[in-house]
Amino acid sequence: MVSNRPLNLSQGFLQALGTKVFIYFENRIPQDAAVVVVSNHRSFMDPMMLMVGLKHPLRTACHHYMGEVPLLREVVTFLGCFPLANESKRGTSFVRQGKKFLNANDWLAVFPEGAQPMVNLTTPREIKPFQPGFAHLLLRSQIPNLAVLPVAILSEQEQVTSTIPLKFLHWFDPSENLFDQWTLHPMVIYERANLLIGRPYWVTPKIQKQYRGKQTKKGILELTDYCQEEIQTLLKTGY
């Protein structure tokens, strides 16, 4: 089981930045369950925001290049993140790693939009289409008492700065088309943000049985759409 170190570091980091976080619907957080947290993604601060809001350490799936850059690899690992495999092995590797963490009673966090909204920065209430990788994990895991928890991160006040050219990251992950440009990578720093907890979706054995034959695509779409629509509704509501 992951230690509380990532949570403690996250609390200290947000406090040092002076970031104010307001949590809504805390009563929806599952208790005594295996949990996969699904959230929108605009900032490097998002894993820390989730841990502080949920008051729970997380194993967060992060971009492949983060595991290839010296020093950055150590930092993200220290915060409980695990870099995804390269594109050719990403799906099977994610499911295998995810099941291992859930079986160890760790909570997982995933950002199904991928890197798109961080590179081509979206507005605080906008989300990009969700990729269904997390749904495959949930339906294949065969883990009892499993819940997926949609969480919306809504920035109310932030600073946006520019960092390194994206082309530098392409050297570490040539498979990522988003990095094949010289545009500067934007970086969002939250000053004030709301964390809105959605209604959990309980993945029962009956639902997991949908991951078979002709029912597979239907089960994946239902779970992916539920999370995207729940987060979109929370972002529109705002509180």
- Which residues in the chain land under pLDDT 70? 1-2, 85, 87-91, 214, 239
Looking at residue 80, what is its pLDDT?
86
First to last CA, the chain: 32
Whether residue 178 contacts residue 215, with contact meaning beta carbons closer than 8 Å, is answered with no
Domains held by the chain: number:
1
Looking at residue 57, what is its pLDDT?
95
Give dist(CA 176, CA 46) in Å, integer.
21
Beta bridge partners of 99: none
* Residue 4 DSSP code: S
Whether residue 121 contacts residue 186, with contact meaning beta carbons closer than 8 Å, is answered with yes
Taking residue 88's Cβ as centre, other Cβ atoms within 10 Å add up to 9
Give dist(CA 224, CA 3) in Å, integer.
29
What token pair was written down for 57?
A: 């350490």
Site of tokens 């798109």: 116
Looking at residue 200, what is its pLDDT?
97
pTM score over 0.85: yes
Domain encompassing residue 78: 4-237
Looking at residue 227, what is its pLDDT?
97
Q: Where is 36: in which H helix or E strand?
A: strand 34-39
Whether residue 98 contacts residue 34, with contact meaning beta carbons closer than 8 Å, is answered with no
Looking at residue 84, what is its pLDDT?
79
Looking at residue 89, what is its pLDDT?
67
Looking at residue 88, what is its pLDDT?
57
Q: Which residues of 134-163 are buried (b: 16+ CB within 10 A; e: fewer)?
A: bbbbbbebebeebbbbbbbbbbeebeeeee
Rounded-to-10 torsion of CA 107, 112, 116, 118: -30
Nearest to 146 by CA among 203, 104, 105: 203
Looking at residue 87, what is its pLDDT?
67
Looking at residue 103, what is its pLDDT?
87
Handedness of CA 11, 234, 239, 36 (dihedral sign): negative
Looking at residue 142, what is its pLDDT?
81
Give dist(CA 223, CA 207) in Å, integer.
10
